[in-house]
Amino acid sequence: MATQSVTSADNLVDHKSHRKYGTRDLLRLITHYAHPKKGLFLVGILLSFVATICSLSITLLLKQFIDAFNHGTSGHLLVQLSLIIVFQLLASVSSSFLLNYTGVDAVSTLRSKLWEHIVDLPIPYFDQNRTGELSSRVVNDTSTIFELISSQFSNAINGIISIIGSLVLMLMLNFKLTIIILIIVPIMAAIIVPMGQILARISKAIQKETANLNSAAVQMISQNRLVKAMVAEKSLKQQGTDQVNRIKGFSVNQIKLVSILNPILNIILLAAIFIIIVYGGILVQTKALTIGSLVAFLMYAVQMISPLSSVTGLVTAVQQTVGATERIDNILDSPVEDKRVDGKDLANIDKISFDHVNFGYQTDKMILKDIDLTIQQGERIALIGESGSGKTTLVSLLESYYAPTSGNLTINGDPMVDFAIPALRNRIGYVSQEVDLMPGTIRDNLLLGSTTAVSDTHLVDLLGQVGLTAWVQELPAGLDTDVGERGLNVSGGQRQRLAIVRALVRKPSLLILDEATASLDNRNQERVTELLATLPKDLTTITIVHRLNQIEAYPRILFMEHGQITGDGNHDQLLATHDSYRDFYQLQYRHG
């Protein structure tokens, strides 16, 4: 069943990746996930409409003011003009605020949904997707949607109103002059539309390459110690330069098109204005047109032509945003981890049974093969074997990160799939070999995920058991000291011991240590070993071990080879009966 769900999810993603995204998908994303405040948005659009009408009216009043000025009857028109300018200003300010607020609120909602969804995604999703790309979706792609909602859409609406209103008023002022504009506008549109489509494709390419750069930067920064240790700065610099140059190449193409487009449009606009002035001047001289009407006509011509870029810009913006929609959709439509919230609660882990369990990340390649194993409460087990033998994968099944491909995995005699995942994981303390602390203080990290109150006395007691009390007391802020990004203000050994304390704070039934003492020196490794010896007798521990200097202390040792458990016993038994274990043990001591 687990395999079927994964296959269905893969088919869904595959189907979505091959279908063409459009405006309907963008609208669905905005309405379904962003939940924009429609009332505020409509009020903002209405005020924007009012502001545009006021702008058109100002030009009309200006015409009347100029024509009346010569006759000394322009006083009341000046008052009307001043009032409309003030009203237009208030409407514009209110509209701008409401539309931008709607955009900010909608994108904040979308970002929260996206953030929460990513947190709930299953481990296999993160195995297949790069961290930097996911962060780019949360930040960059949602910003594109914000720009569309808060700016592009309202600008286009205003532009359409301005174009239609200006055209109607120009026809009322002078039909012959309007013909000139009606010739010019299609010419400009014929240039703007195809150029806008090309710019949209370039912009989409820039977004894609920027996401790749973001992903590479996250990886490079997080692995900076490795880069310096391997003296790989030169190759990393070249990689970054190549990536930046790809973005630069697309950006230069974008600049070229804009640099060509704007002067051409300006020349056409100036030519139109020149023709209108010349022909309009003739009409003024023949008394067929007043000076005020000519000035108003010129202003309406500008008010009609200027918004063309906003209207066509909406098409470009929508195309850009559709690309962002597809990338965000691919995340939001990815199935979240089934937490089995309706499953059974789990008070304690008394018995774990693997009944002929097989598992593979791919169905045709098994990592674990025919695991037949029973673990009783309170056992202290060492899990050893060559790298790649399946040790970490085995304990990952216990955490329900993955489901067995076949066979049965039971807890206390009941199938593991019957238990709610949070209830199961709350009973397990896990310490990995590579410990990354979360941003925040020492206290924040020790209490990560804790659902019950834990006293500072208890924390200090646990820290003392792993030899960290003196270190914490020497810190200026004690438990409230910030650990820095990924815990880099803390040494590797200290991070490891903090992770062990963090696992014990949960008071687990099962403690899994995945080579948890790898970063510790012999003295602190002994401290941790002594700590494990003092743990409650009913606490089951599984320790993945590579360093065998204290392997004799484990009453039960499981030896893994090629995804199978080939040895099960104590040190003396395996040394006497298991050739691979004996060779593994002797080889390690032979090389120190």
Which among 376, 363, 306 has a CA at the least distance from the CA of 556? 376
Q: What's the gap between Cα 550 and its chain centre?
A: 44
Q: CA–CA distance from 529 to each of 208, 430, 462, 497, 554 (Å)?
A: 50, 16, 14, 12, 10
Phi, psi torsion values for 277, nearest 5 degrees:
-65, -45
Beta strands at 428-431 and 556-561: parallel, antiparallel or unpaired = unpaired
Written as one letter, the residue type at 555 is P
- What is residue 458's three-state secondary structure? helix
Any residues with CB less than 8 A from the CB of 47 and at least 6 apart, and which?
A: 91, 92, 94, 95, 98
Phi, psi torsion values for 345, nearest 5 degrees:
-80, 165
Tokens (6 digits) for 335? 């199935």
38-69 helix and 75-120 helix, angle to the nearest 10 degrees = 160
- Any catalytic annotation for residue 379? no
Q: Taking the alpha carbons of 363, 369, 370, 371 in that order, is the dihedral positive or negative? A: negative
Any residues with CB less than 8 A from the CB of 356 and at least 6 apart, and which?
A: 370, 371, 372, 406, 407, 408
Which among 403, 407, 394 has a CA at the least distance from the CA of 367? 394
Q: Give CA–CA dist 292/71, Å, rounded.
A: 13
Tokens (6 digits) for 325? 């929609």
Q: Give CA–CA dist 182/196, Å, rounded.
A: 21
Which among 202, 221, 205 has a CA at the least distance from the CA of 135? 221
**Is the separation of the CB atoms in 420 and 340 below 8 Å?**
yes
Any residues with CB less than 8 A from the CB of 245 and at least 6 apart, and which?
A: none
Please pick, among 434, 515, 530, 552, the residue that the annotation labels catalytic: 515
Q: Which DSSP symbol is given to 569?
A: E
Within 10 angstroms of residue 271's Cβ, the number of other Cβ atoms is 12
Tokens (6 digits) for 289? 């047109």
Helix H, strand E, coil C: the string for 301-329 is HHHHHCCHHHHHHHHHHHHHHHHHHHHHH
The Cα angle at residue 137 between residues 12 and 99, in degrees rounded to 5: 110
Which among 389, 397, 384 has a CA at the least distance from the CA of 428? 397
Q: What's the gap between Cα 232 and its chain centre?
A: 28
Query: Active-site positions?
Result: 515
